[in-house]
Structure 1
Amino acid sequence: MVFGHNPDAELPNWKQYFRLGAVQTEASSPGLASYVRLNRTTPYIFQDVRFYGHFFKENQEIRVRQKTSRRFMSFDWLYSFNTLIYEKNTFIDVNLRYHFNQGLGWLIRNSESGNMTAELGIAFDNSDYLNTKQKTSYARGGFTADKKMGNYETKIEVDYFHQVSKLVDNTDLSRIQLVAEAQWSIKKGVAFIIGFTEDLLKDESFNIETPSVFLTFAFKRPLNWTF
């Protein structure tokens, strides 16, 4: 059972985020980094839509993600979630991946100085959405943490997908997805952000030369929407 919010007593809080800057990898010339996010929260429901785009001369990393989280029953520290992602990454030969996951999350820490969550669930995707109907199933684990220290903020996101369905063409699609950021706020709602993203396939180890490293100018603004 999930408790929703009372719209008459608890108005939602809307925020918008934008980023624009440069991105670099060892395998490509410098490119354009972009990010757009729309966020809606109440005491019981969290809804989030994000667009990530890294555009190079010959390659692209694009991800559109929609996530909804709801407080689970009356537990303040437990929530259910579902996530839908469309993704393109020509560096790893993903032309269009359709991905869905759902499960339960644990709010380990929730404070003004930072948050920490852990998630467990199931997932499935189609890594060649335009050309095949073949779906792959996974067990998923996720971890996020952010820390605020004055004008500085750090964030890390780790997602692990372990393939549980039968291998096709002897290919294991298990993977780790990493995002790490460091942010310096120069005034209210305006910041510089440096970070990296990387997808590590099974049996690959982290290599400091392979991530996409970005430097962006970012700002966020509240929205006075009530629906």
Structure 2
Amino acid sequence: MRRSSSILFIAVITTVVMGQDASTDSAKWKHYIRGGGVRVTNDNGLSGYYRINRSSKYSFGDLRLYLYGLQNNSYVFIRYKSSSKYRRWPKFYRFSTIAYQKNTQAGVALRYHFNQGLGLFVLPYSQGHIITEIAHAYDMSDYLNDNRRTSY
């Protein structure tokens, strides 16, 4: 069993490493961080935002973390989006997004959201892109032990 696990691990690593031509698809990393103070009707706290972004000619990964903590309430939002262009049709891309959210002010103990779909670069420009996306999404929330599920 251990030998088959080792072979599977080596096969997966080889596939990932050899799956891209590094000379044509080199990655660029960026990260952003921001922090500050929050004051909401006599309630003080701190807020923070962190984003790390990996992009290349054909793929894009983005992790975002936003949070604030007050004396009586807190909000946490974590989101990861991964997308890759179709090499034959580079104006189209596929993507997956997963997000977790906790908001004590709204009574949300935990909400998670997943979607995946197809996107189109409508108008690329040097500072970003105008895009359109179509996707299927799944959402589940725990509102004080009352589970609400939606799929849209």
State the TM bucket, normalised to the shorter chain.
0.7 to 0.9
Note the C-alpha offset of 1:73: 4.7
- Residues 63 and 78, structure 2, Cα contact 8 Å, conserved in 1: yes
In 1, distance between residues paired with 2:59 and 2:101?
25
Note the C-alpha offset of 1:121: 0.8
- Residues 100 and 123, structure 1, Cα contact 8 Å, conserved in 2: yes
Note the C-alpha offset of 1:47: 0.6
Note the C-alpha offset of 1:82: 0.4
Of the three residues 57, 62, 71, the one matched with 2:71 is: 57
Partner in structure 2 of residue 175 of structure 1: none
- Residues 108 and 144, structure 2, Cα contact 8 Å, conserved in 1: no
User: After the TM superposition, which residues 178-193 of structure 1 pair with which residues of structure 2 at under 5 Å, given as runs?
Assistant: none
Q: What do residues 26-69 of structure 1 show as CA deviations (whole Å, max 9, x unaligned)?
A: 6x734322011111111000011110112222111211111101
User: After the TM superposition, which residues 161-180 of structure 1 pair with which residues of structure 2 at under 5 Å, given as runs?
Assistant: none
| 2:117 aligned with 1:103 | yes
| 2:85 aligned with 1:71 | yes
Q: How many pairs align?
A: 134
In 2, distance between residues paired with 1:25 and 1:102?
36
| 2:16 aligned with 1:16 | no
Q: Residue 32 of structure 1 aligns to which amino acid in structure 2?
A: L
Q: Which has the higher helix share?
A: 2
Identify the structure with bigger relative contact order (alpha carbons < 8 Å, sequence gap 6+). Answer: 1
Partner in structure 2 of residue 221 of structure 1: none
Q: Residue 35 of structure 2 aligns to which amino acid in structure 1?
A: L
- Residues 81 and 96, structure 2, Cα contact 8 Å, conserved in 1: yes
Report SS of the residue matched to 2:52: strand
Note the C-alpha offset of 1:92: 2.0
Partner in structure 1 of residue 12 of structure 2: none
Task: Work out the percentage of aligned pairs sharing the same amino acid.
Answer: 39
In 2, distance between residues paired with 1:14 and 1:130?
39
Q: What do residues 5-40 of structure 1 show as CA deviations (whole Å, max 9, x unaligned)?
A: 4224432111121111134556x7343220111111
TM-score normalised according to structure 1 size = 0.52
Evaluate the alpha carbon distance shift between residue 133 and residue 92 of structure 1 in structure 2; reply closer, same or farther with a 3 A threshold. closer
Report SS of the residue matched to 2:105: helix
Evaluate the alpha carbon distance shift between residue 130 and residue 39 of structure 1 in structure 2; reply closer, same or farther with a 3 A threshold. farther
TM-score normalised according to structure 2 size = 0.75
Report SS of the residue matched to 1:127: strand
| 2:93 aligned with 1:85 | no
Q: What do residues 198-218 of structure 1 show as CA deviations (whole Å, max 9, x unaligned)?
A: xxxxxxxxxxxxxxxxxxxxx
RMSD (Å), alpha carbons: 2.4
User: After the TM superposition, which residues 152-167 of structure 1 pair with which residues of structure 2 at under 5 Å, given as runs?
Assistant: none
Partner in structure 2 of residue 124 of structure 1: 138
Note the C-alpha offset of 1:130: 9.1
